[in-house]
Structure 1
Amino acid sequence: MNNTFSDHQQIGVVSTFSELVNTHFQGVMNAICWHRKLDGDFKEIVSQLQLKDNITEVSPEDLLALQLSEKGNLAREIILNDLQLLTDFGALPSLNLLKNYERDNELDFISTDVYSFHVDRSPIGTDTFLCTYHGAASDILPNHQAEQKILIPEIREKLKELHDGPDTEFETFLKDYFFDLHYQAKPNAEPINLESGHLWRLAVDHPTQQVLPCIHRAPVESDGEYRLLLIC
């Protein structure tokens, strides 16, 4: 895996939080990475946190209540600092302890859960921020290596059968049920793993966005290993 990500036109690499939030997406670049090597024992934090559901939100108070070693404390300080930086920026960061996300098993011909390649959509100008501190990390995919699932003929036909309404309302139906957000990797596509420790900013589909939204997916979790993920 390329540790600098700089070989990928899709990715801008920066070295400070200020650069992360102030660098403009342009051309095919729709992901920006604050590239960093984090010290600290994030596994120790995960081992002490209590999983209440498959996804448990962890508050700063929860972190501060942990009795940690020097390395564990270093990891805690990094997480708290990231949360503060994003909060001061005006974002609403959430720290999640994850066993797994819900799977979408309702339709056998199209998946619309976060394990499927997808883009995020927002009615307002915003971006997605994420950082994996522990466990498997997300993947992104260059836009030219993916195909919107609703444009794949056999999937589109089945969605039309499911819609069972006027043709004029079909596109609205696709948006209302988020089918249009999901993508299929083309043959020989090469997903890029975001790795742990880096803080990422991904372009979202919204009216003022100048670039294509970033296609990404949640990883299949490593067996028995929880993920610790910051996202907003």
Structure 2
Amino acid sequence: MNNTFSDSSQIGLVATFSELVHTDFRGEMNALCWFRNLDGDFNDIVAKLSLEENITEVYPEDLIALQLSEKGSIAREIILNDLQLLTDFGASPALNLLKCYERDDEFDFISTDVYSFHVDRSPIATDTFLCTYHGAASDIIANAQAEQKIQIPEIRARLKELYDGPDEGFENFLEENYFDLHYQVHADAAPVNLGLGHLWRLAVDHPKQQVLPCIHRAPIEKQGEYRLLLIC
């Protein structure tokens, strides 16, 4: 197994989907990994899909319609099974073929796009599931190795300059514009790459959450290579 995963108190390793969805987050552990070495040719799938926009959702019927090699067919069955497992669990998984996400370059001192380390928030109890089958994979960081950007004095001062309203409304302004979800990693921080083929469950910020939400980011895509990502 990947030593980076097993050495991290942030990450819990499991061997089955049932363990993945039924293991409770606790203490510093806010990321669970169903560690898998997948067989199959996922590149065969990516090469035969059509990218219609920077992000194209791929549906099961799209996968089934592809003419694939034997290894490509194995990869397809793995993806279809993952989609079915998550759907049966009550989640709403999406399979995306990705060239890139939209960038946020409105401000030079803070970014709110997914390439910035951030947490997910939900009004209801839920988790984020993701698996990268092909292309660059996401990173996570331990909460102790990052600081909420809105707590950094220089950034907070710039945000106050942007805000035009009463002092008591400033925190709501930060939430409404998602500034409070983004984090600055420490200089000596050591992000963990989530790798290919593993199905992850990440803690989300919601009212019933017992642990800190998992800080993560989308990777910068490799030149000329698409990502194939399951997420919900």
Q: Could you tell me how far 1:192 is from its partner in structure 2?
A: 0.3
How far apart, CA to CA, are the structure 2 residues paired with 1:144 and 1:4?
17
Identify unmatched segments of 5+ residues in structure 2: none
Residues 44-81 of structure 1 show CA distances to partners (whole Å, capped at 9, x for unaligned) of 00000000000000000000000001000000000000
Number of the residue aligned with 1:222: 222
Secondary structure of the 1:27 match is coil
Aligned runs of 1:77-226 on 2, under 5 Å? 77-226=77-226
Give the partner amino acid of 1:136: A
CA RMSD of aligned residues (A): 0.9
How far apart, CA to CA, are the structure 1 residues paired with 2:118 and 2:68?
37
Q: Could you tell me how far 1:165 is from its partner in structure 2?
A: 1.2
Please say if residues 4 and 35 of structure 1, whose CA atoms lie closer than 8 Å, have aligned partners that are also in contact: no
How far apart, CA to CA, are the structure 2 residues paired with 1:14 and 1:197?
14
Residues 188-220 of structure 1 show CA distances to partners (whole Å, capped at 9, x for unaligned) of 000000000000000000000000000000000
Instruction: Tell me the number of residue pairs that the alignment of Structure 1 and Structure 2 aligns.
Output: 232
How far apart, CA to CA, are the structure 1 residues paired with 2:85 and 2:229?
16
Give the partner amino acid of 2:88: D
How far apart, CA to CA, are the structure 2 residues paired with 1:20 and 1:96?
22
Determine what percentage of the aligned residue pairs are the same residue. 77
How far apart, CA to CA, are the structure 2 residues paired with 1:128 and 1:85?
15
Identify unmatched segments of 5+ residues in structure 1: none
Q: Could you tell me how far 1:94 is from its partner in structure 2?
A: 0.2
Number of the residue aligned with 1:70: 70
Secondary structure of the 1:44 match is helix
- Residues 221 and 115 from structure 1, CA distance in 2 versus in 1: closer, same or farther, beyond 3 angstroms? same
Aligned runs of 1:11-90 on 2, under 5 Å? 11-90=11-90
Secondary structure of the 2:97 match is strand
Give the partner amino acid of 2:43: K
How far apart, CA to CA, are the structure 2 residues paired with 1:223 and 1:3?
28
Q: Could you tell me how far 1:2 is from its partner in structure 2?
A: 3.4
How far apart, CA to CA, are the structure 1 residues paired with 2:108 and 2:147?
18
TM-score when normalising by structure 2: 0.99
Number of the residue aligned with 1:9: 9
Q: Could you tell me how far 1:25 is from its partner in structure 2?
A: 0.1
How far apart, CA to CA, are the structure 1 residues paired with 2:3 and 2:49?
29
How far apart, CA to CA, are the structure 1 residues paired with 2:132 and 2:187?
27
How far apart, CA to CA, are the structure 2 residues paired with 1:66 and 1:104?
35
Give the partner amino acid of 2:231: I
Q: Could you tell me how far 1:6 is from its partner in structure 2?
A: 1.0
Residues 136-182 of structure 1 show CA distances to partners (whole Å, capped at 9, x for unaligned) of 00000000000000000000000000002111000000000000000
Give the partner amino acid of 2:87: T
Secondary structure of the 1:207 match is coil
How far apart, CA to CA, are the structure 2 residues paired with 1:189 and 1:4?
14
Q: Could you tell me how far 1:4 is from its partner in structure 2?
A: 6.4
Residues 13-38 of structure 1 show CA distances to partners (whole Å, capped at 9, x for unaligned) of 00000000000000000000000100
Secondary structure of the 1:117 match is coil
Q: Could you tell me how far 1:187 is from its partner in structure 2?
A: 1.1
How far apart, CA to CA, are the structure 1 residues paired with 2:4 and 2:171?
40
Secondary structure of the 2:5 match is coil
Please say if residues 4 and 13 of structure 1, whose CA atoms lie closer than 8 Å, have aligned partners that are also in contact: no
Secondary structure of the 1:213 match is coil
